[in-house]
Amino acid sequence: MGIQHWKKIWVGSAGNMVEWFDWFVYASFATYFAGAFFPSGNPTAQLMNTAGIFAVGFFMRPVGGWLLGRVGDRRGRKAALTLTVTLMSASAVLIAVAPTYAVAGYGGALVLLVARLLQGLSVGGEYAASATYLTEATDPKRRGFASSFQYVSMTVGQILGLGLQIVLQRTMSDSALHSYGWRIPFVVGALGAAVVFYLRRTMLESEVYDEDASAAEERGTLRALWRHRREAFLVIALTMGGTVAYYTYTTYLTKYLSNSAGLSKDTATLVSFTALIVFAAIQPLAGALSDRIGRRPLLITFAVGSTVLTVPIMTLLKHTGGYWPALGLSLLALVIVTGYTSINACVKAELFPTSVRSLGVALPYALANAVFGGTAEYIALWFKKAGIESGFFWYVAGCAAVSLIVYVTMRETKDRDLTGVRGAGGVGESRVTTAS
């Protein structure tokens, strides 16, 4: 892999990192600002309100997937990636300056909602543009390895957010964090996005995109995507279990350890921080393994592990008494999830031709995340409030079981030639051309 390829991976990943830093600090700092935008009362109800706004952001992702996926296919991956980071920067600024309930009543919550809608719009296009770019910008025999850096960068964004949270927890009082300290990460995110905007303005376009000769009027259109509807439905189905498990063990984990397992906020944050560092480190290893043995074995391993072990892991986590048991169980869960996260970007990109690849990944993936990923935390809190928290564990396991059926029946995509995909192939009809 040459210097230019590494440069493309770095620039794409750096932007993804900042995007997801902004996206996830909302979740990781929610316990501090939940009371700032809603009336005082039940802490769980306040968290449900902020989780509801978090979920609403996901429902903008299909819109972002359509609009920015179209930009990625018609204007290029570079144009889409530059636009997404601009939108994310604007949303971070809005959250940083949003007035509290004491100052503006529900006006602050409205500003928070608008910011989350912009974030949803941005991330809806960012995932596909990043997944497509990272998959196209490397040697065909190392696509799994290269595309794994998407989740490396996403996780590093979370790590930076959690790391900043740990620093603030150690240097600021609890009252200061609840009062104004929670605004600091959003200021940092906005500044980081400005830096990445410059990097993306100077990035190189994907050669696969430049070499595509499809008619301009057909690029990135819903009509073109409809001809590949079997692949689009496949993306939704294979995303279902993975996205629920991912958000359960990343964005929701800190709250679960704090609110249900009884760990202090500081300890819960440290568990998530440490586990995510290991999680990020093993993504390229799993991606490289998929380049050797294929994508399906890893996906099937994830689905079987998540179906069988989710209930025991979550149940044991609830009764952990300290840092080390919680860390061990969290790492076990994230190792299982790695079978999905390390390769899902390239698997989806490998299903579509160049002219509709960005939209083909963006729209169905965003739909799946809106329905399953964005609502995971809210559903978890709903089960908790209803007094049947274990019901959520079975929900996560059930989603993984559905995806398992898809993984078992789908065809391998490892050797697909990205410049030669033209026919429509679904779960049982994928046409795979060996890459040179």
> pLDDT per residue over 1-12, tens digit each?
667 777 777 787
Amino acid present at 87: L
Give residue 427's pLDDT: 42
369, 370, 374, 376 alpha-carbon torsion, rounded to 10°: -80
CB atoms within 10 A of CB 264: 12
pLDDT higher at 19 or 86: 86
- Answer whether residue 431 shows pLDDT above 70: no
The beta-strand segments (E) located in 198-255 are none
Q: How far is CA 385 from the centre of its chain?
A: 26
Q: What is the mean pLDDT of the chain?
A: 86
Q: Is 190 helix (H, G, I), strand (E, B) or coil?
A: helix
Give residue 420's pLDDT: 58
Quick check: 178 and 36 in contact, CB under 8 A?
Answer: yes
List, for residues 178-207, the tens digit of each pLDDT value: 888 989 999 999 999 888 888 888 887 888
- Tell me which residue of 78, 95, 96 sits closest to 15, measured CA to CA: 78
What is the average per-residue pLDDT within 327-340?
A: 97
Q: What CA–CA distance (Å, rounded) separates 185 from 18?
A: 11
Q: 129-133, 401-405, 416-420: which has the highest mean pLDDT? A: 401-405
- Answer whether residue 112 shows pLDDT above 60: yes
Q: What DSSP designation does 98 have?
A: P
pLDDT higher at 84 or 289: 289
What is the average per-residue pLDDT within 18-45?
A: 75
Give the rounded percent of residues in the chain with a pLDDT score beyond 70.
91
CB atoms within 10 A of CB 216: 8
Quick check: 435 and 415 in contact, CB under 8 A?
Answer: yes
Q: What CA–CA distance (Å, rounded) separates 181 from 193?
A: 20
pTM for the predicted model, two decimal places:
0.84
Q: How confident is the model at residue 42 (pLDDT cuts 50, 70, 90)?
A: low
Both structure tokens of 32:
């501090």
Q: 7-11, 16-20, 175-179: which has the highest mean pLDDT? A: 175-179
* Residues in the chain, overall count: 436
- Tell me which residue of 146, 403, 395, 197 sits closest to 299, measured CA to CA: 403
